[in-house]
């Protein structure tokens, strides 16, 4: 099976090697261990390196829009890898109608009606500040600094990269 999905490389952060899957309260939060990678990861949106298969998959997602807290309507899976310099997040966004994936191209940090994936990192583990990273199906980068629990600063541009690709199962 060929995995072709989004790959984000986050370079500016010191984070723990655990990713959090969201829930409606802190008692619903689940964790997933990141796998240490030896060797190189090619940033091309094609997650075909063997190490992706060795990492534990995260699959317990809920909706944010349109029905906050409801189960996800499409299957999504992510895996987290790390090495001495980088945190790697690979996402498989399956779609039951892959021809309907919206891929509008826009400038960085310009939100449009398009398919997108977002990842939030609470790097200080204070549950009030952090960083949001997003990538659209067309490869547009979206990022922001989050503060005061609910505020965002869209002018923050982190040093990171992402690539996406599509196939008959999604993106």
CA distance 68 to 97: 22
Mean pLDDT over the full length of the chain: 81
Q: Is the confidence at residue 28, as pLDDT, over 60?
A: no
Domain boundaries, the chain: 6-163
For the record, the structure tokens of 145 come out as 């600094």
Please give the average per-residue pLDDT across 137-161, as a whole number: 91
Please give the average per-residue pLDDT across 126-148, as a whole number: 92
The dihedrals phi and psi of 100, each to the nearest 5 degrees, come to -95, 5
What's the helix, strand, coil split of the chain in %, to 5? 5, 35, 55
Predicted pLDDT of residue 73: 87
The dihedrals phi and psi of 53, each to the nearest 5 degrees, come to -75, -20
- Within the chain, strands assigned E span 6-10, 18-21, 30-33, 35-36, 76-82, 87-93, 116-121, 130-136, 141-147, 151-153, 160-163
Q: Say which residue, 25 or 87, is predicted with more confidence.
A: 87
pTM above 0.85, yes or no: no
pLDDT digits (tens, 9 = 90+) for 47-93: 999 999 999 999 888 887 788 888 888 899 999 999 999 999 999 99
Nearest to 140 by CA among 121, 113, 169: 113
Task: Say if CB 59 and CB 75 are below 8 A apart.
Answer: yes
Please give the average per-residue pLDDT across 109-114, as a whole number: 79
Buried b (16+ CB within 10 A) or exposed e, 12-38: eeebeeebeeeeeeeeeeeebebbebe
In the chain, alpha helices (H): 51-54
pLDDT digits (tens, 9 = 90+) for 29-38: 567 889 999 8
Predicted pLDDT of residue 112: 76
Q: Assign residue 44 a region: left if phi > 0, alpha if psi is -120 to 50, beta otherwise?
A: alpha
Predicted pLDDT of residue 8: 46
């Amino acid at each position: 099976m060929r995995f072709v999905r989004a790959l984000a490389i986050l370079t500016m952060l010191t984070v723990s090697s655990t990713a959090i899957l969201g829930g409606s309260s802190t008692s619903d939060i689940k964790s997933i261990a990141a796998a240490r990678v030896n060797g190189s990861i090619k940033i091309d949106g094609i997650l075909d390196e063997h190490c992706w298969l060795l990492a534990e998959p995260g699959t317990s997602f809920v909706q944010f829009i349109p029905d906050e807290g409801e189960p996800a309507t499409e299957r999504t899976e992510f895996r987290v890898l790390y090495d001495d310099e980088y945190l790697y997040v690979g996402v498989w966004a399956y779609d039951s109608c892959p021809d309907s994936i919206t891929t509008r191209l826009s400038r960085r940090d310009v939100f449009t009606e398009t398919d997108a994936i977002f990842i939030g990192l609470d790097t200080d583990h204070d549950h009030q500040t952090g960083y949001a990273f997003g990538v659209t199906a067309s490869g547009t980068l979206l990022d922001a600094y989050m503060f005061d629990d609910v505020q965002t600063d869209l002018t923050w541009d982190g040093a990171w990269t992402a690539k996406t690709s599509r196939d008959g199962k999604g993106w």
